[in-house]
Structure 1
Amino acid sequence: MEKFETLTGIAAPLPLINVDTDMIIPKQFLKTIRRSGLGVNLFDEMRYTDDGSENPDFVLNRPAYREAEILIAGDNFGCGSSREHAPWAIKDFGIRVIVAPSYADIFYNNCFKNGILPITLPQEQVDILMKDAEKGANARMTVDLEAQTITASDGQVFAFEIDPFRKRCLLEGLDEIGTTLEKADAIAAFEQAQAGARPWI
């Protein structure tokens, strides 16, 4: 998994509450088990019209936000069905950070497993960052995971909380397999001891 330390990038405003996983990646795109290629269908039903052309009013289709790496969102982001394709699509589009007042638990956990940093802030702070993001491509924000801060384009700094274990995993680029492999020597020693003690297994 790619390490996450600091990121300075464009933030896209998505001032919607209860954005569910079907809005993030509709069910017809869940046939793949590959993590790549889903970014083009991120927010598909809002992003495209019925004839398949881009909806020019949707935020990620606007020139200022096509390269967005941060998403400022509303309350209860990622609710609905527990599809891991949702963070896959977000990451494949290029978004590495989401800022919202709250998240659905399963979506929140899946973000960390896929190298996305979901930041939880009070509504009033999210509102400030939302307005900052509305300034467009020149309003770049900086997220510093080590310092646990997000800095708006005008220099305002907001501190956020994060579980220490999840923080370490992102900083070191460790997913669940990676954290298991950290114990590879201990696992090998245990297996060798078991082979001697219980050769019939």
Structure 2
Amino acid sequence: MEKFNRLTGVAAPLAVVNVDTDMIIPKDYLKTIKRTGLGKGLFAEARYLDDGSENPDFVLNKPAYRNAQILVAGDNFGCGSSREHAPWALLDFGIRCVISTSFADIFYNNCFKNGILPIVVTQDELDKLMDDARRGANATVSVDLEAQEIRGPDGGVVRFDIDPFRKHCLLNGLDDIALTLEKADAISTYETRAAENRAWL
């Protein structure tokens, strides 16, 4: 998993509440268990018209936001089914951070396991960040995980809380497998001892 320390980039405004995982990645894209290639399906029903062409009105299709790495979204982001393809699609598109007033629990947990930083802010803070994001490519936002700060283009600072363990994992790029491998010596010692004590197995 890629480490997350500081991220400075364009923030795309998605002022929609209750964005569910089916909107993030429609069911048609769930036939794969690969984490790559899903970016093309991100928000597919909103990004594309019936003929397959891009919807020019959708935020991520606008020139200023095509390379957005931060998403500023409405309340209750990631609700609905528990599909892990949702954070996979965001990450494959290039989104490393989502900012909202609240997240569905399973989606929130899946973000951390895939190297995405979900940040919870107050409604007033979200309104300010949404306003910053609406300025387009000329207004970049910086997210500093170590300092737990979001800096807007005008120098305004929003501080955010995060669980210390999750922060540690993101800063060091540790997913569940990497966390297990940190205990590789202890696991090997246990397996050796177990084999000696239960040779009949």
TM over 0.5: yes
List aligned pairs for 1:142-161, cutoff 5 A.
142-161=142-161
Distance 2:180 2:138 in 1: 41
Amino acid in structure 2 at the alignment position of 1:60: L
Amino acid in structure 1 at the alignment position of 2:34: R
Name 2:85's counterpart in structure 1. 85
Alpha-carbon distance, 1:197 to partner: 1.1
Amino acid in structure 2 at the alignment position of 1:53: S
Residues 89-114 of structure 1 deviation map (CA, whole Å, 9 limit, x = unaligned): 00000000000000000000000011
TM-score by length of 1: 0.99
Alpha-carbon distance, 1:57 to partner: 0.4
Name 1:41's counterpart in structure 2. 41
> How many residues get paired?
201
Name 1:191's counterpart in structure 2. 191
**Is 1:118 aligned to residue 118 of structure 2?**
yes
Name 1:168's counterpart in structure 2. 168
Name 2:13's counterpart in structure 1. 13
Residues 96-155 of structure 1 deviation map (CA, whole Å, 9 limit, x = unaligned): 000000000000000001100000001110110000000000100000000010101111
Q: Which runs of 5+ in 2 are unaligned?
A: none
Distance 1:190 1:123 in 2: 50
Q: Percent identity?
A: 69
Alpha-carbon distance, 1:180 to partner: 0.4
Distance 1:194 1:33 in 2: 34
Other structure's SS at 2:68 match: coil
Amino acid in structure 1 at the alignment position of 2:157: V
Other structure's SS at 1:137 match: helix
Alpha-carbon distance, 1:200 to partner: 1.6
Give the 4+ runs in structure 1 shifted more than 3 A: none
Q: What RMSD over aligned residues (CA atoms) do the two structures have, in Å?
A: 0.5
